[in-house]
Amino acid sequence: MTTGNNSEKDGLLDFVRRFTDHDTFTVEEELGHGYVRLKVTEAERRQALQDIRCVEDVVKELVRNARDAGATGVYVTFQKERGRWRNITVLDNGRGIPQGLHRKIFEARVTSKVRDVVEDRFGVHGRGMALFSIKQVADDIQLVRSEESRGTIIHTRIDTTKLPEKKDQSTFPRLESDDEGKIAIAGGPHNVPRVLTELALSSDGLNIFLGSNAEILSTLYHDSVELRKTWAAGEDDVSRPVWFELGGIKEGRMLHGFCANQLGLCVSERNAFRILELEINPLMSINELVREGSIALPARRADLHRQPRDNWSDHLARRLNQDDISRISDSLQLVFEDIGGKYYLQAEAPVIKRRKNRIIISLGLHEKEDG
């Protein structure tokens, strides 16, 4: 009995060793002389680590996916958290992903490019490996939202101590124009602005935006307002991307909630109010920056900020410029100095806010000190 029990134990131990041995899950066949044939899953995993070597590669693959899905607008949010975590959200107005495939898109070899592949200056695209590859190296990647014919939103979070990025993420590449007037990249850091500039220059009909969560939300909001005006005018071919409803929101708390729940963007309630009050301007596309910017000097991300336009809003309070607001503030301080003394009061500097068709003036009061 003892011999039989030992034999059973040895067999069980061999079984456990075999299925806890790393080679069991990675090696399909031992070929001898130190050579093996890897299992397909392990080969795919190793290829994924080769494909994605830096944060710039992640952005490149996500935007290429959006482009190949027929998007005409791609919005990239790009924010650093605690100096370590890079949060990236890519929103597009492309064909979208069918509901039944939402859970499969991060698997290897899943692609919509059935008949052929896409080859651009970055290489071959269409193997169905981009999202799978990002999943292998990112701390988190998720499909926030996708609807057929309305576009897709994908968010990823990356630990830059494990997957590095270029230190300078603000400077755009230096550009040159050839004899035929064609613009090309002539130098500069190999950062995300450069990757997106390369894609903008090489992708006809694709407008690419880059900014913080709040800047991109402001840009989407203004885009939605214009789309909704066209739609309300009876145009039949108006696209209705996943952010189409934004333009109908007129209250900061609702905008904050929609942004978090429907778009996967973390924007403070205060910034949501600022967007509605036109205090955070929408961005121009990188394509527009390249067309309008200086060829000789590299642009910076701050150059993407648009100047306010009259047709963005009919808010009457916006007609007052900052110099006139300052004059109101100075005059109010002088008037209160005369009046406040009778009541032993002194005032702080006025805080003046513009709210649609109102000006709100806040004046903090204190007991006047004896002097």
**Over the stretch 215-241, which tens digit does the pLDDT of each residue have?**
999 999 999 999 999 998 888 788 899
> Mean pLDDT across the chain, nearest whole number?
84
**224: helix, coil or strand?**
helix
* Residue ranges in the chain assigned as alpha helix (H): 2-20, 22-26, 40-51, 55-68, 130-137, 192-202, 213-232, 252-262, 269-276, 286-292, 322-340
Q: What percent of the chain has pLDDT over 70?
A: 78
Q: How far is CA 111 from the centre of its chain?
A: 22
pTM beyond 0.85: the answer is no
pLDDT at position 40, please?
Answer: 59
201: pLDDT strictly greater than 50: yes
pLDDT at position 284, please?
Answer: 95
181: pLDDT strictly greater than 60: yes
pLDDT at position 117, please?
Answer: 62
53: pLDDT strictly greater than 60: yes
295: pLDDT strictly greater than 70: no
Q: Ranked by mean pLDDT, which of 23-27, 70-74, 318-322, 323-327 comes out on top?
A: 70-74
304 compared with 107, residue with greater pLDDT: 304
Mean pLDDT value across residues 60-73: 95
Token pair for residue 153?
A: 């939103």
Amino acid (1-letter code) at residue 256: H
pLDDT at position 34, please?
Answer: 58
The answer to whether 100 and 234 are in contact (CB under 8 A) is: no
58 compared with 41, residue with greater pLDDT: 58
177: pLDDT strictly greater than 80: yes
Mean pLDDT value across residues 294-319: 71
pLDDT at position 145, please?
Answer: 97
36 compared with 125, residue with greater pLDDT: 125
16: pLDDT strictly greater than 50: no
pLDDT in tens, 266-276: 999 999 999 98
pLDDT at position 371, please?
Answer: 58
The answer to whether 298 and 290 are in contact (CB under 8 A) is: no
Mean pLDDT value across residues 269-297: 85
pLDDT at position 111, please?
Answer: 76
Mean pLDDT value across residues 162-184: 90
Nearest 10 degrees: Cα torsion 353, 355, 356, 359: -50
Return the half-sphere exposure (C-beta side, CA atoms, 13 A cut-off) of residue 57. Answer: 21
pLDDT in tens, 92-124: 999 999 999 899 889 877 777 655 666 676 666
294: pLDDT strictly greater than 90: no
313: pLDDT strictly greater than 60: no
Return the half-sphere exposure (C-beta side, CA atoms, 13 A cut-off) of residue 314. Answer: 1
Mean pLDDT value across residues 312-341: 81
